[in-house]
Structure 1
Amino acid sequence: MSLKIEHFVIFLTISCFLSCRDVTSLAKIQGRQIGIEASIKASDSIENFVSPYRKRIDAVLDSALAYAPSTISKTDGKYNTTAGNLLADIVLSEAEPIFRSRTGEDIDFVLLNHGSIRSIISKGKVTARNAYEVMPFENSIVIAALSGKSVQNLVLYLRDYGVPHPISGLQVVLTKENEIQSIRIQGKPLNEKDTYNVATSDYLLNGGDDMVFFKDATQVTNIDYKIRNAIIDYFSKVDTITPDIDDRFYRME
């Protein structure tokens, strides 16, 4: 009996040794680019499988959530625009209750970037698809605590950059000579000794669009809320969307 066990052990050892030596390895990888062209015929089986899902997604994205009486654009103003004002106001209104519930504090103002707005909202029905067109990025809302001095640097950036970056809760008035006439936050003059909670995107927080002043944030709160989702939530709450070009940022004539 013990002899049989010994033979079995020897056989098993040899088998393991041989199997360990029989190892294949990857020698090279080859690939080629296959262009998606009209000449490529669709696969009926794949199309039949995907079709119900596509129809459902299109129905959800194209359902009317609100109405825009006129076209909303990021190019219709020099210092602030209808699209920029709408987007910044949405972030303020939708992120504020979340931030307050988690911290007990309020958002003082919002700063986003002009370049993140990628589409107009045409006159007519407003849908979730519009939100994806306006904000195709996966950017999330974060709140950075900035000193009054950092906010001054932020305003100098807005003056010098020459682009109508979206703001809300912040008013900047320039003189005819392009000097800063006044800075008001939630209707009150800027106080250098105060700390302000500024809602922005995670992209800008990391220095995007040269917004290096965010590196001086004393605290950062990520509320786990994508800007696009905030837009869709806002669209679902209102009947009519009517943003205006106003006096939140202007130059005296």
Structure 2
Amino acid sequence: MGYSCKEAPKKLSHITGKELKIDSTSQAVNSLEQFILPYHNHVENVLDSTLAYASLDITKTDGSYNTTAGNLMADIILEQAAPIFKRRTGKNLDFVLLNHGGIRSSISKGNVSARTAFEVMPFENNTVVVELSGPSVKEMLTYLITSKRAHPVAGIELVLNKDDSIKSIKIQGQPFDANRNYYVATSDYLVSGGDDMVFFKDALEVTDIDYKIRNAMIDYFSKVDTLSPKVDLRYYKLD
């Protein structure tokens, strides 16, 4: 007769729970507060240290087709992400597309800190670079026009006629070529279909450069003295 040493598998028979009410009568544990306090103070000091200065109020509502906040965000990603993408792939970043709704706060005139970046971009979105064919870029431009929102762009110049038809498109200063592929930096949220940007589903390649949009902002703030973005002619409609 043989005997087995194998134990019978354990099974969960029941779960019990207890509701703990947390309200104004709850008391803080002083020992924990004192332990955490130095770390809390350090984080607060880091977040509030001045990194740059905004020479004007920077908002996403001061333009119909492009805005100071949108232009700042897109320009930051173009400047900060391009060298990382180049080092990792040997390829050049062509342009940037972000979403208007992703900008969650204005930047008031005055000192700019890391906390400012957390207020503008509270999400953990990563910067990704997507390879799109010429036809997919045209689909993206159609989305941009029909959305009637000032989605942030950089590296691209889009001019519309009065009837919303396209008068001209330039990418990195060169006329748009429908027969070539382009590399566009955006957020992982949009690549997954956020804001109905379904054209990203046709991406030929997606490269996550492991760089949070918020961190790109903080790095940019740390190396410049003054923020002075303007509403410009990167995307506009003829009168």
TM-score, normalisation: structure 2: 0.93
In structure 2, what is the Cα distance between the partners aligned to 1:238 and 1:124?
A: 14
Residue 170 of structure 2 corresponds to: 184
> Is structure 2 residue 219 aligned with structure 1 residue 233?
yes
In structure 1, what is the Cα distance between the partners aligned to 2:204 and 2:132?
A: 6
Q: Percent identity?
A: 54
In structure 1, what is the Cα distance between the partners aligned to 2:215 and 2:203?
A: 25
Specify whether residues 122 and 26 from structure 1 end up closer, same or farther in structure 2 by C-alpha distance, changes over 3 A only. Answer: farther
SS in 1 for 2:150: coil
Task: Encode CA deviations 1:62-99: one digit per residue, 9 max, x unaligned.
Answer: 00000001111111111111111000000000000011
Q: Identify unmatched segments of 5+ residues in structure 1.
A: 1-12
Residue 117 of structure 2 corresponds to: 131
RMSD of aligned residue pairs (Cα, Å): 1.9
> How many angstroms does 1:155 deviate by?
0.5
In structure 1, what is the Cα distance between the partners aligned to 2:20 and 2:181?
A: 53
Task: Encode CA deviations 1:35-58: one digit per residue, 9 max, x unaligned.
Answer: 4x4443322122111111110000
Task: Encode CA deviations 1:81-119: one digit per residue, 9 max, x unaligned.
Answer: 111100000000000001111111110000001111111
In structure 1, what is the Cα distance between the partners aligned to 2:24 and 2:115?
A: 25
> Is structure 2 residue 99 aligned with structure 1 residue 98?
no
Specify whether residues 90 and 34 from structure 1 end up closer, same or farther in structure 2 by C-alpha distance, changes over 3 A only. Answer: farther
In structure 1, what is the Cα distance between the partners aligned to 2:162 and 2:185?
A: 29
Larger Rg: 1
> How many angstroms does 1:206 deviate by?
1.2
In structure 2, what is the Cα distance between the partners aligned to 1:26 and 1:48?
A: 41
Residue 51 of structure 1 corresponds to: 37
Residue 122 of structure 1 corresponds to: 108
> Is structure 2 residue 72 aligned with structure 1 residue 80?
no
Specify whether residues 79 and 38 from structure 1 end up closer, same or farther in structure 2 by C-alpha distance, changes over 3 A only. Answer: farther
- Deviating beyond 6 angstroms after TM superposition, the runs of 4 or more aligned structure 1 residues are none
Instruction: Select which of 137, 142, 152 maps to 1:166.
Output: 152
More deviation, 200-209/41-50: 41-50
Residue 3 of structure 1 corresponds to: none
> How many angstroms does 1:166 deviate by?
0.5
> How many angstroms does 1:25 deviate by?
4.5
SS in 1 for 2:51: strand
TM-score, normalisation: structure 1: 0.88
Which amino acid in structure 2 is aligned with residue 78 of structure 1? S
> How many angstroms does 1:225 deviate by?
0.8
Whose helix fraction is larger, Structure 1's or Structure 2's?
A: 1
SS in 2 for 1:141: strand
Which amino acid in structure 2 is aligned with residue 118 of structure 1? R
In structure 1, what is the Cα distance between the partners aligned to 2:190 and 2:70?
A: 15
Specify whether residues 78 and 27 from structure 1 end up closer, same or farther in structure 2 by C-alpha distance, changes over 3 A only. Answer: same
Which amino acid in structure 2 is aligned with residue 55 of structure 1? N
Residue 68 of structure 1 corresponds to: 54
> Is structure 2 residue 137 aligned with structure 1 residue 157?
no
> Is structure 2 residue 181 aligned with structure 1 residue 195?
yes
What is the aligned residue count?
235
Residue 7 of structure 1 corresponds to: none
Residue 205 of structure 1 corresponds to: 191
